Structure 1
Amino acid sequence: MCYSRDGGSTNIGLGMIRIHILEGKAFVWNYADVRKMREEYRIVGKLVGALARKPRQNVRLGLPLQLLPEEARLLVEKGLAILFKNPASQPLGDDPSQDPSALEEMTAYQKGLEENYQEQVQLTAEQRKTVLGSLAERIAQGRAKKQQQKEEEGDPSLKPVDLESSFVLPRQSMMVQLPTERIHPGAEEEVDWQVQSQDWPYAGQSDHEIRYSIFRNLWERGYYVTSGSKFGGDFLVYPGDPMRFHAHYIALCVSKDVPLSLGDLVSAGRLGTNVKKTVLLCSVDQDGTAVYTSLQWSGMQ
């Protein structure tokens, strides 16, 4: 079954994972899709979004989930996902042809913000009054001390200040709700992963084809496969969910037509030994068969 937001026909099927493409990168924003990919399809990805309550740290991140090109392509080839992009949007203006419903929603949104602000002003004032009541004795003592100092210096007496009436809640200090999903995403265009473009530059690239063939083969063998950049490889290969297992292999994808120097082999072997993992040299035959060669640094006996 297919649907379209503007009434036309599209290839976006109901229930399919929606992968948003932006400048050649693949993102998934829906948490249900993220969970489904991990639990049912063994696609892990990497969270890259800041948490609303802890924005100034990068230890724990949230949505969106960024996918490797190989992860996104696998989901699309298996008929589990769709690649799409949002065309450049135009800012709302005074165009009389503007959608009336959108203008009404904007007016309602602004009205809601104002009501929210007035409610916060009232609640903050009540909270401030409570705090001042609990500190009334201390405030009185401070005022008396300042009054005595002024009298000793010959200055006129202090004028009483009404702390409650002087309170103002700046609008920039009000709490606002940050929406995590757009009610009206607007126009959408499907991205063809088989055609090289600015949105999807990987089509036809030899390096990508080798990496994808290896990724798909390891995935079909039942492994969890993630990015291996932090260990100097192309992929990390896990026997189960990375939340429960350490990676067993570091996969390095190489072309059979490109020779490897002895130094590169030694470096790869020592790398795997230092992090207690086996290095896999992965290549693809002309018939598309994946070929693996394991490296383990044993040293001198």
Structure 2
Amino acid sequence: MIRIHILDGKAFVWNYVDARRAREEHRIVGTLVGALARKPRQNVRLGLPLQLLPEEARLLLDKGLATLCKNTASPPPGEDTREDPLSQQKVTAYQKGLEENYQEQVRLAAEQRKILLDTLAERIAQGRAKKRQREGEGEPPSKLGEVEPSFVLPRDSMMIQLPTERVYPCQEEVVVDWHVPSKDWPYTGQPDHEMRYCIFRSLWGKGFYITSGSKFGGDFLVYPGDPMRFHAHYIALCVSQDTPLSLCDIISAGRLGTNVKKTVLICSAGKDGTATYTSLQWTGMQ
């Protein structure tokens, strides 16, 4: 079951296994919004958490593939939890695992260094021999290892895994009922959301991958396959059946789609929950 966490009405997936399952098994792409641990000051390549559109989160919830939860408020600043035996056990287990990880990295780094020295042994020996000849010293030792100091890996150079979620599920998590509008999940029952979700569910049911279309002036971008491998074929504009469209808006949408080499879909949702589509393609005047 995929765990979706709610914060200020936004849906996030923190577990990388859940994020991978959502994309590979359920065609839910989302948007990575977290900074990378090694390059936190750049925004070209981002990492976890994965932020989901309300429609993406609701589809997973509607299909019974996910649960919606939130964390309760943190304990007061003055409250000390260090006396908790369970917390002490977790700290001890973490420190033990950290030490075992360090010793393993020392062993692997020493092996890699030995392999590297073995491949460069002849060149190193020749260089040392020339240096000793210039300085008038005797023959160098026969073994390279006799003059090599013992290898030491500084602790501040070891690689440390940074978890993107709690190692143990937080006992303070509460499940949010997404069927009822609330402060945490205000979308249920809103006409715009219901229309967008109806269209999203319909397009998803046809086998498409769907992402946000805000960068192209639409509601959704529709892909024939994973967006990492395909360009979007359609720009979906969600319009209520009761909302009139001016001729200028239709022309603007058609020309926009032509400029970015995509077909514009004007999408509407009926009262019975069915979605209807009208495609626009700009052909110009002959």
- With the length of structure 1 as denominator, give the TM-score of the two structures: 0.70
Aligned partners of 1:63 and 1:265: how far apart in 2? 38
Rounded Cα–Cα distance in structure 1 between residues aligned with 2:56 and 2:257: 24
Specify the alignment match of 2:57 in structure 1: 72
Q: Distance in 1 between matches of 2:83 and 2:175?
A: 25
What residue is the counterpart of 1:179 in the other structure? 163
Q: CA deviation at 1:186?
A: 3.2
1:270 CA drift (Å): 0.9
Taking a change above 3 Å as real, the CA distance of residues 176 and 219 of structure 1, as seen in their structure-2 partners, is closer
The unaligned stretches of length 5 or more in structure 1 are 1-15, 117-168
Q: Which amino acid aligns with 1:182?
A: R
Provide the C-alpha distance between the structure 2 equivalents of 1:105 and 1:23, rounded to a whole number of angstroms. Answer: 30
Indicate yes or no: 2:31 matched with 1:36: no
Range 97-106 or range 20-29, more displaced: 97-106
RMSD of aligned alpha carbons? 2.9
1:58 and 2:36 aligned: no
Give the aligned residue type for 2:162. Answer: L
C-alpha distance in 2, partners of 1:280/1:86? 39
CA distance in 2, matches of 1:200, 1:96: 31
Alpha-carbon distance, 1:243 to partner: 1.1
Counting only pairs closer than 5 Å after superposition, residues 106-145 of structure 1 correspond to structure 2 as none
Whether 1:258 aligns to 2:225 is: no
Q: Is residue 89 of structure 1 aligned with residue 74 of structure 2?
A: yes
- Secondary structure at the residue paired with 2:25? helix
Match of 1:5 in 2: none
Correspondence for 1:45? 30
Task: Name the aligned partner's letter for residue 253 of structure 1.
Answer: C
Query: Which residue identity does 2:185 align to in structure 1?
Result: W
- Identity among equivalent positions (%) equals 75
Q: Which residue in 2 is equivalent to 1:196?
A: 181
Counterparts in 2 of 1:296 and 1:186: CA distance versus 1, 3 Å:
same
Counterpart amino acid of residue 50 in structure 1:
A
- Gaps (5+ residues) in structure 2? 102-153
Aligned residue runs from structure 1 range 205-216, under 5 A: 205-216=190-201
Give the counterpart letter for 1:285 in structure 2: G
The Cα shift of 1:112 comes to 9.8
Could you tell me which of 254, 257, 261 is aligned with 1:276? 261
Partners of 2:226 and 2:90 lie apart in 1 by: 43
Amino acid at match of 1:197: S
SS of corresponding position for 1:181:
coil
Distance in 2, matches of 1:75 and 1:215, equals 12
For 1:176 and 1:75, how far apart are their aligned partners in 2? 33
Q: What's the secondary structure of 1:272's corresponding residue? A: helix
Note the alpha carbon deviations across 1:86-123, whole angstroms, 9 max, x for none. 0111146455896332256458879999xx9xxxxxxx
Decide whether aligned partners of structure 1 residues 244 and 183 sit closer, same or farther in structure 2, where only a CA change above 3 A counts: closer
Over 3 Å counting, the alpha-carbon distance change for 1:174 and 1:94 in structure 2 is: farther
State the shift of 1:277 in Å: 0.4
Report Cα offsets for 1:123-178 as digits up to 9, x if no partner.
Answer: xxxxxxxxxxxxxxxxxxxxxxxxxxxxxxxxxxxxxxxxxxxxxx9xx9999763
Structure 2 distance, partners of 1:25, 1:111, is: 37
Aligned to 2:4: 19
> Quick one: distance in 2 between partners of 1:214 and 1:208?
10
SS of 2:39's partner is coil
User: What pairs with 1:95-106 in structure 2 (closer than 5 Å)?
Assistant: 99-103=84-88, 105=90
In the other structure, the counterpart of 1:13 is none
Q: Distance in 1 between matches of 2:18 and 2:81?
A: 38
